[in-house]
Structure 1
Amino acid sequence: MPAYSPSPASRSATTGFDPSDAAHLRAPYPIFERMREAGPVHWSPEISGWLVLGWAEVQQMVSTPEVFSANRLTPVVERLPEAARATAGDVLRWLSIWMVFQDPPEHTRVRRHMLSVINPRTVGSLREPVQEVTDLLLDRLPRDEPFDFYTQFGLKLPGFVVMDLLGVPRDRLAEVKSWSDEMMLFIGSSRKVTDKYSRAKHGAQSMSELFRELIAQRRAEPRDDALTRMISHEVAGETLTDDELIASMMMIANGAQETTAHLLSNSLLALRAHPDQFAALSEDREQLIPTAVEELLRYDGPVLSTARLAVADSELGGQRIAAGERVFGLLVAANRDPAVFADPAGLDLRRKPNKHLSFSSGVHFCLGAPLARLEAQIALGEIVTRFPGYEFAEPLENVPWTNSMVARGPTRLPIRWGR
């Protein structure tokens, strides 16, 4: 497989976006706008891969797995130092089974099983439990002193919901989140973390042990819950293996928490920066909240990019992409493409239609999208109603943002509810 480098004719197509720069992570949109003016696809020396900013080009990228494969783990292994391969191998064993790193037909087979527990019908039945968790967490938060919204509410709401769904005791949430964070050191970025492979291995081993115990418990004593349905569900007479079940539980636990937490945090930032839109939502919460959540997903979504590996020579956005090169679809940039969205830098909670790509598209459209939408609608509706005077407890320029090419959002968000 060739080394990651652009074709000679494209070598000048470099970018000004540096994902290791805190200022760029906090406010990437002016940079993306300047890049888009020069073209929808750029080579990035900072990440040794292509950045795709155009809506149509991102759609093409995520919709053609025969050219742009989701299985991008093999080159990761090939580039690892020999000393790290054994340690990383234990993590890759699990990641290789994750549905998000698979192409059809294997992806299709696993997704059919997962749809038995995460689909619009089952998510609809979770409205009352999500409301109960939302109320429980909001009631526990301090009224007269600052608190970290991201950790004390943002992570806990989807965490509690998905832990209940998978049958994991709520008091294990902090452990599972820490193990998930360790695994994500392998995926998201973390180039400056020297022990990331050993930490990722620890996270993978710890989660697999817990989830294997839970699966064994359900096999011995089946319940009317999502985990039992995952274990027993058949497609063409076949069920998921224990390893596939564990890997799927890892993927759900990982994807359900951080992305929804960032969606909520980013939404509070966006609403406070647009008082007219906040006022409109406050005045017409029931009618406006569904389209408001879609617009907040578009305006500053919780996923920066989705990555693929080119497995065939191709052309994208006027650039020649060689087999073996990495391609990053910048979802948040595509969501502000003026060719698709009027006033793309503006926040319009009544925007229709809204063809944002925050949940990606094609065969890898986010399985958890219905649940994330439900959680955001309920949580933001309650916050706007209960705490219309919320304010940030420190200058936003002091708030750090996630160092990742995957997740997008602050790693903490100090808030005071106010009056």
Structure 2
Amino acid sequence: MISSRLELGSAAVIDDPYPHFAESRRRAAVQWHDGTGMWLAFGHAEANAVLRSRGLGRIWTPRWPDVPMPGFELIHRNSMLENEPPVHTRLRRLVASAFARGHVERLRPRVAELAEGLAGTLAGAGRGGVAVDLIAGFAEPLPVQVIAELLGVPESDRSLLRPWSNAIVKMYEYQVSPAQRDAAEAAAGEFVGYLRELVRRRRGRPEADLISSLIAETDSDGARLSEDELVTTCTLLLNAGHEASVNVVGNGVLALFAHPGQWQRLLAAEAAGQSLVDSGVEELIRFDSPLQLFERTAIIDTRIGGITVRAGEKIAALLGSANRDPAVFEDPDRLDVARADNPHLGFGAGIHFCVGAPLARVELQTSLRTLLRRFPALRPATEDLGALRRREFVIRGVSSLPVLLS
């Protein structure tokens, strides 16, 4: 058994985990990690197997069994992300059927309209060479507004969503303070209470939104989503959906600043009518993954990469490491916005593949296309880009991104 030397919470790993991943992959594709008490899968094939293996599952257990956290527990125990078949199968089928009612396509022109409006406001704020925050002014509000419209959250209430999500997702890190834990529980309780009231209103008066579709959706055997499952699904869509989109934009623009030739390549392709936006988005997801780690638990003894994960043991797919595996990606540390062969694991794989991936792609493609068209001279307003990095490992992003627009 090879033990991993990786210090997930260290400043060096948070600043740039990829050289550390490469060193670890050279030692072994799967290693035991004392700090987290689980196996880590560094290779693409091994991470892919972790995500797909039916010998592994998502088994929700309270992280602090002696600390009451009813709101936080509710939005996980009833989540399709935290369940396996047959519960997962039923939940995902109902949610996917509701999505299939055309909600993503319905929102496509609206996403473009929202992006254009945010870009216009940002342009006004940045007039005269004033630095503006691309995260607060563009990357963050766009997916929140899109998911709010998808769910049917009134515009007057949308400012509530991002703070709730921010507090909840901090719990997915491996170093959590008591204050962060309390904030997450408070946010979960408030979010659940808000959604219950919204569901109550939609039951009485359905509208053309996803909550109304989820309420109406019936499985082949007549089963419906319970209220707890419905509330949990809405919470998951917000937390997972907008966090990924915000962080792909933030990480992606940082990567393009570090590789200005790729930004110019995107601009030239747009001008020539041969857009590289779609392949560019996939490459930005691969190059600096917004979600770095996804863990599962062995239901039975399971072989992954030559290692036996014993029943009850945990193993995590390190998605950022998998997405830089030279066995799969040619010259993996090179950003290539035209990369054609790109089987990244940024949206997961197997039964837990992100159900919101089509919507996320619409948001990200629209975001990148809008930035290219409106701000071709986009550049950083600070030389210390590393200082912008959020000091967290699992969910990788930047807290702010000061830029100059012209």
Q: Is the 8 A contact 2:25 2:43 kept in 1?
A: yes
Distance 2:391 2:230 in 1: 29
More deviation, 181-190/51-60 = 181-190
- Contact (CA 8 Å) 1:315, 1:321: kept in 2 or not? yes
Give ranges in structure 2 of 5+ residues lacking alignment. Answer: none
Amino acid at match of 2:297: L
Partner AA of 2:376 in structure 1: P
- C-alpha distance in structure 1 between counterparts of 2:207 and 2:380, whole Å: 44
Q: Give 2:6's aligned residue.
A: 17
The aligned counterpart of 1:194 is 178
Q: 1:181 to 1:56 in 2, by over 3 A?
A: same
Task: Identify the residue that residue 206 of structure 2 maps to in structure 1.
Answer: 222
Does the 8 Å CA contact 2:295/2:317 hold for their aligned counterparts? yes
SS in 1 for 2:165: helix
Deviations 1:340-368 (A, max 9, x none): 11111111112122111100111111111
Secondary structure of the residue aligned to 1:124 is helix
Conservation of the 8 A alpha-carbon contact between 2:103 and 2:150: no
Residue 304 (structure 1) aligns with: 292
Aligned to 1:105: 86
Letter in 2 for 1:61: V
1:366 is matched by which residue type in structure 2? Answer: C
Question: How many matched pairs?
Answer: 397
Matched position secondary structure for 1:345: coil
Counterpart residue number, 1:346? 334
- The aligned residue for residue 350 of structure 2 is 362
Looking at structure 2, the residues matched to 120 and 138 of structure 1 have their Cα atoms a distance apart, in angstroms, of: 30
Q: What is residue 182 of structure 1 aligned with on the other side?
A: 167
Identity %: 32
8 A contact 1:298–1:356 mirrored in 2: yes
| Counterparts of 1:178 and 1:259, CA distance in 2 | 15
1:155 matched to which residue of 2?
Answer: 140
Give the TM-score, by structure 1 length: 0.90
Mapped to 1, the partners of 2:134 and 2:58 lie a distance apart of: 33
Tell me the equivalent position of 1:327: 315
Match of 1:127 in 2: 108
Residue 46 of structure 1 deviates from its aligned partner by 2.3
User: In the alignment, does 2:216 pair up with 1:232?
Assistant: yes
The one-letter amino acid paired with 2:81 is V
Q: What amino acid is aligned across from residue 262 of structure 1 in structure 2?
A: N
Question: Is 1:243 the counterpart of 2:228 in the alignment?
Answer: yes
Question: 4+ residue runs of structure 1 moved beyond 4 angstroms?
Answer: none
With the length of structure 2 as denominator, give the TM-score of the two structures: 0.93
Partner of 2:241: 256
CA contact (8 A) 2:257 2:380 kept: no
Question: Which whole-Å deviations, capped at 9, do the CAs of 1:299-326 have from their partners, x for residues lacking one?
Answer: 1121111111122222222223222222
Amino acid at match of 1:148: D
Equivalent residue runs for 1:55-74 within 5 Å: 55-65=44-54, 67-71=55-59, 73-74=60-61
Aligned counterparts of 2:133 and 2:35: Cα–Cα separation in 1: 32
Distance 1:159 1:55, change over 3 A: same
2:397 is paired with a residue whose SS is coil
Q: What are the Cα deviations for residues 357-393 of structure 1, in whole angstroms up to 9, with x where unaligned? A: 1001111111111111111111111111221222222
**1:283 matched residue in structure 2:** 268
Distance change (3 Å), C-alpha of 1:190 and 1:181: farther
Q: Which residue of 1 aligns with 2:400?
A: 412
Render the CA deviation track for 1:37-76: whole Å, top value 9, x for unaligned: 11111112222221111111111111113x21112x22x4
| One of 146, 150, 165 as aligned partner of 1:165 | 150
CA distance in 2, matches of 1:372, 1:198: 30
1:379 is aligned to 367
